[in-house]
Amino acid sequence: MKTFIFDLDGVLVFTDKFHYQAWKKIADGLGIYFDEKINNRLRGVSRMESLDIILERSTKRYSAGEKEDMAEEKNNYYKEFLKKMTPQDVEPAVRETLAELRRLGHKLAIGSSSKNTKFILQQTKLMDMFDAISDGTNITRSKPDPEVFLKAATFVGDIPENCIVVEDAIAGIEAAKAAGMMAAGIGEAAHYGKTDYRLEHFKEILEIEGI
């Protein structure tokens, strides 16, 4: 049996629009230009790193404390948007595939940099599908560092070599490979050279050889 470790945003759910709207409120308040192209650079990186990318266009230097306040303000906006999420925000194919993987005896875990992971899982009624959750609350380094995936493997009691990471971001694929795990890519990550399994649709996870 394998352990499947799933990134959250862009794989199981899609909250990109909420992240964008929250960061846009911060950028607009600071008078900094921010659009969807810049927002794409934020995918798969931590909240503070995302803020640094946005502040590249600022002529003002901000203290660490000011940055912490901005990041917290962004997260408050984001959490307000997340309250609108429901179980209907999860594609039926995602629920069906997760249920089938569990039926087959595989372990399932989350490996996400987001500190809002558990809240999103609760809002979408996905929490009970997973044996372990490794997220932004228990890591100090974000992807492409492998920490989040290595901790997920530890939490379920498995070795990296028996884990398959499902990711939509290149930074996530890099993290999976750095962890010594196999990587299944969906979306942008499906076309990345280091991806082991290229998925066009989520349900194709069930077609991975050897599971």
Beta bridge partners of 111: 134
Q: Tokens 């352990």 identify what position?
A: 3
Catalytic pick among 7, 135, 158, 168 = 7
Amino acid identity of 174?
A: E
Residue 191 three-state SS: helix
Whether residue 146 is preceded by a cis peptide bond, meaning omega within 30 degrees of 0, is no
Is 7 considered catalytic here? yes
Catalytic pick among 9, 135, 145, 158 = 9
Query: Who's near 84: CB < 8 A, 6+ residues apart?
Result: none
Is 131 considered catalytic here? no
Query: Who's near 185: CB < 8 A, 6+ residues apart?
Result: 167, 168, 173, 191, 192, 195, 197, 198, 199
Which residues participate in catalysis according to the annotation? 7, 9
